[in-house]
Amino acid sequence: MPKISGKLIIFSAPSGSGKTTLVRHLLTQEELGLEFSISATSRPPRGQEQHGKDYYFLSDEEFKQRVLAGDFLEWEEVYSGTKYGTLRSEVERIWQEGKTVIFDMDVVGGLNLKGLYGDKALAVFVMPPSLEELEKRLRGRQTDSEDKIRQRLAKARKELGRSDRFDHILVNNNLEVAKGEAHNLVKIFLGK
């Protein structure tokens, strides 16, 4: 079977910056022909998350076995004991459908994919208006413990320092404006 290839759109940001909201918006824009790449994780589901829809939830052992088998394009231990990764089969499935793959992922994973795919990938860094606003958003979610919020903020400080490695930095001060900017960036990249 011939190797299928296409383009990738990568949205990365510190947790709470609005990347998931922007990606969900772009997925509703049918003319863009995007499909979400579902990541695999070793963490358990949160809230209403579903296997095969939000993430592929793998046990730590399953995750390790799939790493050894070479099933991941990229993966990392994002937080101590919690791994995330992109399954090669997921990207190939989307390309076989004739669609462009869109990712919502952490900064290191986004940079790893950009490094693998170069000009075939558009990497967008979603910048929060400030660290204070980011903290406010994280607390507003009411999904994380105080310790987890502190971990996310410490990680965000590091990630903000890597923003210059992305193709574009999109500042999310105003969600409606950011949606429009994201749409235009993707449209231009795809030549639509």
Span 119-154, pLDDT tens digits: 999 999 999 877 787 888 778 877 778 888 888 888
pLDDT digit string (tens) for 10-67? 999 887 788 999 999 999 999 999 999 999 999 999 889 999 998 999 999 999 999 9
For range 66-84, the mean pLDDT: 91
In this structure, is residue 49 part of a structural domain? yes
Domain for residue 40, yes or no? yes
Provide the edge-to-edge strand list for the sheet that holds 82-87.
Answer: 56-57, 40-41, 82-87, 72-79
Give the residues across from 161 on adjacent strands. Answer: none
The reply to whether 1 falls in a domain is no
Q: 22 exposed, middle or buried (CB, 10 Å; 0-12, 13-18, 19+)?
A: buried
Name which of 108, 87, 117 is nearest 159 in CA terms: 108
What is the model's pTM?
0.85
Q: Is residue 9 part of a domain?
A: no
Q: Is residue 6 part of a domain?
A: no
- 3 belongs to a structural domain: no
Domain hosting 80: range is 14-190
Evaluate whether residue 8 is within a structural domain: no
Q: What is the mean pLDDT of the chain?
A: 91
Total number of domains in the chain: 1
Output the domain CATH number for residue 166. 3.40.50.300
Structural element, H or E, at residue 96: helix 88-96
pLDDT at residue 22 in the model:
97
Percentage with pLDDT > 90 across the chain: 67
Q: Does 4 reside within a domain?
A: no
Backbone φ, ψ for residue 185 (5° rounding): -60, -45
Handedness of CA 128, 188, 109, 53 (dihedral sign): positive
Kind plus residue range of the DSSP H or E element containing 44: none
